[in-house]
Structure 1
Amino acid sequence: MKRHAQTKEEAFVRAAHDLVAREGFAGAKVAAVARACGVSAGSLYSYFGSRDELLAHVFRRAAGRELAAVRGAVDAAPAHPGARLEAFADTFTQRALRGRRLAWSLLFEPVSPVVEHERLVYRREYAQLCEGVIRDGVAAGLFAPQNTAVAASAAIGAISEALVGRLSPEMSQKPEVPDEQLVAEIRGFCLRALGCAPS
């Protein structure tokens, strides 16, 4: 019985995730999720207390995967702080560009306070990861002396802001620069902002 319940819960989460990836959180209505699972809308509430609870679960899963990918890239990069910062910026940017609709939803789409709380949790996780890289760079004399917590938040804010127009579902114009150049420009900006010449 418990395994069956876990299987049903997983099916709801997968269906909601697929809807968010295609249509954003706004498109992940209870009726649409239930329809994708071939059940009645009411049955979803046997597993989740509310739509917000389901979407918060979806956010945690999707954002957790993205964070794990960025952390993995940073850990796999050479020990040089500049290389680790490049891995952070490049992986964050490249994954966002590959999954534009999902990235928009995770980063920018207006959401309920319940889901926004999850967003803030993951922003802190990214900031802590980035701060560790910057702190090592400052200690090694490779980055300018600075408040590493503020610098990490500013770097992540710059990366996100540079992606807004490219990720927006409303964007219909051809981008001014190709994706590869955008990745390089964001990387270079982060390195210069921290006082390190791009490689």
Structure 2
Amino acid sequence: MVHFLVTVAYRPTEKTEARRTRTRATIVRAATELVAHGGYREAQVAAVARRAGVATGTVYRHFPSKAELLTEVFRVASQREVDAVAEAVADAAAARAPERLVAAVETFARRALRGRRLAWALLAEPVDPAVEAERLQFRRAYAQVFERAIADGVAAGELPDQDAAFTATALVGAIGEALVGPLSPGAHPDPDALVGALITFCLRSTTDQELSLHVHRRTA
């Protein structure tokens, strides 16, 4: 008599998949909190596991290496920041293009200044090459938000004719560079003065006139 062994592939149930998703999110949140407190060096796998309330092996089941974990931390944290800037521009949709750009710059800068250690990690802290690749994507995503606002402003006649993609990329690069020093450990920037200078720079870079705008202090 011949016996056949039938192997049935394991298929995770909705419940087990939901639990897996929750655990992964908990690990990423714990790692993000550690990075926000002390930078990437503080987010050691063992420390992340303790903060997340899971075994070290569980962290490795979800993220085979520390680099993969930190890449996911960067991706999630940076997307949250990009979404906040995009939302600020959308909220100002009824305003003229310069005001929408002000909303974008102010949201970008004030969120960074409120979460300085995490912002430093996102913008400037030396990182693994895999995380650096995400950093480039992060800047491109920011630039796309600015590009749409500038292009819409040009189309509406609210901004002078210009290469929206080039201007947006230059703005994001300049803003990020201008924030590096103030965000660095030990710095004590004046948030209002810094934000004001960034707004002035943005308006001078995209308009052909000096504008005096009331800056709404956002809490988002």
Q: TM-score if structure 1 supplies the norm length?
A: 0.91
Partner residue of 1:47 out of 55, 58, 62: 62
Matched letter for residue 177 of structure 2: E
Aligned-residue CA RMSD in angstroms? 1.6
Write 1 or 2 for the structure with the bigger share of helix: 1
Please give the alpha-carbon distance, in whole angstroms, between the structure 1 residues aligned to 2:121 and 2:48.
Answer: 17
Which residue number corresponds to residue 152 of structure 2?
136
The reply on whether 1:112 has 2:125 as its aligned counterpart is no
Please give the alpha-carbon distance, in whole angstroms, between the structure 1 residues aligned to 2:183 and 2:29.
Answer: 23
Which residue number corresponds to residue 28 of structure 1?
43
Please give the alpha-carbon distance, in whole angstroms, between the structure 1 residues aligned to 2:152 and 2:145.
Answer: 11
Which residue number corresponds to residue 87 of structure 1?
103
Q: CA deviation at 1:197?
A: 2.2
Q: CA deviation at 1:37?
A: 2.8
Residue 185 of structure 2: SS of its match in structure 1? coil
Question: Does structure 1 conserve the Cα–Cα contact (< 8 Å) formed by 2:96 and 2:158?
Answer: no
Partner residue of 1:192 out of 174, 188, 204: 204
Which residue number corresponds to residue 171 of structure 2?
155
Structure 1 outlier segments of 4+, above 6 Å: none
**What percentage of aligned pairs have identical amino acids?**
50
Matched letter for residue 197 of structure 1: E
Residue 61 of structure 2: SS of its match in structure 1? coil
Aligned length: 195
Q: TM-score if structure 2 supplies the norm length?
A: 0.82
Which residue number corresponds to residue 75 of structure 1?
90
Unaligned runs of 5+ in 1: none
Question: Does structure 1 conserve the Cα–Cα contact (< 8 Å) formed by 2:85 and 2:145?
Answer: no
